[in-house]
Amino acid sequence: MVFSRERRSPASRLGPKRRLSILGVSLALLTVSCADPAEESAAGNFYAVPRTFPGDAPGTIVRSEAMDPPSSSSLAWRIMYSSSNDAGDPIVVTGMVIAPTGIPPANGRPVVAWAHPTTGIDDSCAPSKQAEPFDSIMGLQEFLSKGWVVVATDYEGLGTDGEHPYLIGASEARSVIDSVRAAHALDGTGASTRFGVFGHSQGGHAALFTGQLAATQAPDLTLVGTVAAAPSGNLHEQFELSQNTEAYSYVGSYMVGSWSDLYDARLPTAVTPDAVGTVERLATECVVGGSKDADERLERVFDTDSTVAPSLWVDGFTNGDPWRSILETNSPGAEPIPVPTLVTQGTSDKVIPASTTAQLATRLRSSGSTVTEQVLPGVPHTLAGEKSVPFAVEFFTDRFN
């Protein structure tokens, strides 16, 4: 099989991909933590995409290597597995698998697929490339202690060739679904084909789309439940409410940066002339933690009411196409999720307003989904995934039993 080195959606076939310029100007809003050079060196050429790879089944293991596990009672691997892009071309995606030690049960271990929150759209933003890669997987130790396997995708285009389709639901779902297949196929995990999906923020968005698409896209797998913590849901309303905050200077830059490369969406129709350089610069940077200082900076940006002035965005651009149609297409809830779904939301969230999550829950129920809502009093956006872990453990325990 010949690997397609670019995501070729119908719109992107109109011309060569426009690459975001990398500007060497330091950013005052956030000092960004990207992949540690030592970790990159340790990974070697793992992320180099092979020209050809065997097999065409989604979730086929293309490459794997052992990682230092997060505990003495677990095993861990970095993986590269086969998937596909929106045009149906074969691609590879990377991620991590962590499994308990010992002999698995006869029917295999249940799997929890972790879908990570926003980290950026540059290859260096891939969670599996970070110096402390397991720190970003919420509930890891709790899930392992239950005897479950955890798989954590990087998503399409993060760590590997091609653009990352940021907040594009079908892409996220394929990456998650095929990561579960890869965990099942990887020797030594004991992973079964039964899984639950748990995600935070962008990952909550990914979890909901996985819930919508798993039954039709992966009849070989059994999804038992979906947990979405502070999910990106009603994308248009969220952007309208939060567009002038520091958090959305990043979120918006990732959105327009990714979509202007993948679709027929021109940057000047979304970004004010004086802000183009700023948006392009922000779109090349990561918002990944990995140290106490980095986490504190992240909290200052994502958990405060600080605003950006002047505005980066063309007034009302999300009300016109193609931006409006992309936002609407990638807002979950248009299709039912046929398994129980838990949505959690912090009351102190400055990135995903609680009102938009309530709207999302209503939209999901209207489509035929069974949704339970869990309010997290006083919890800000950056802690929503962590604070949702006890509820996710209880939820998945019931579902797996």
19/111 Cα distance (integer angstroms): 37
Give the global pTM. Answer: 0.89
- Mean pLDDT calculated for residue range 145-149: 98
pLDDT at 13: 29
Which helix (H) or strand (E) element contains residue 391?
Answer: helix 384-400
Strands (E), 288-382: 341-346, 371-376
pLDDT at 80: 97
DSSP result, 190-234: -EEEEEEEEEETHHHHHHHHHHHHHHHH-TTSEEEEEEEES---S
pLDDT at 65: 96
CB atoms within 10 A of CB 72: 6
Residue 93 domain-assigned (yes or no): yes
Tokens representing residue 394 in the block: 């209880």
Give yes or no for a contact between 230 and 221, defined as CB atoms under 8 angstroms apart. Answer: no
- Total structural domains within the chain: 1
Q: What confidence tens digit (pLDDT) does each residue in 94-109 have?
A: 999 999 999 999 999 9
- Mean pLDDT calculated for residue range 206-218: 98
Question: Looking only at Cα atoms, what is the longest distance across the chain?
Answer: 62
Q: Is the pLDDT of residue 311 over 60?
A: yes
Q: What confidence tens digit (pLDDT) does each residue in 164-177 have?
A: 999 999 999 999 99
Q: Is the pLDDT of residue 35 over 90?
A: no
User: Where residue 350 sits, what CATH number does that domain have?
Assistant: 3.40.50.1820
- Mean pLDDT calculated for residue range 190-203: 98
Q: Is the pLDDT of residue 393 over 80?
A: yes
Give yes or no for a contact between 189 and 97, defined as CB atoms under 8 angstroms apart. Answer: yes
- Mean pLDDT calculated for residue range 4-10: 36
Residue 4 domain-assigned (yes or no): no
Between the alpha carbon of residue 77 and those of residues 60, 100, 358, the distances in Å are 15, 12, 38
Domain interval for residue 206:
11-400
Residue 3 domain-assigned (yes or no): no
Which helix (H) or strand (E) element contains residue 152?
Answer: strand 149-153
Q: Is the pLDDT of residue 29 over 80?
A: no
Residue 2 domain-assigned (yes or no): no
Q: What confidence tens digit (pLDDT) does each residue in 232-272 have?
A: 999 999 999 988 888 899 999 999 999 998 988 999 999 99
Tokens representing residue 278 in the block: 């700023």
pLDDT at 300: 73
Residue 305 domain-assigned (yes or no): yes
392/386 Cα distance (integer angstroms): 10
221/211 Cα distance (integer angstroms): 12
Side by side, which strands form the sheet with 191-200?
61-67, 74-84, 90-100, 149-153, 109-115, 191-200, 222-229, 341-346, 371-376
Label the pairing between strands 90-100 and 149-153. antiparallel
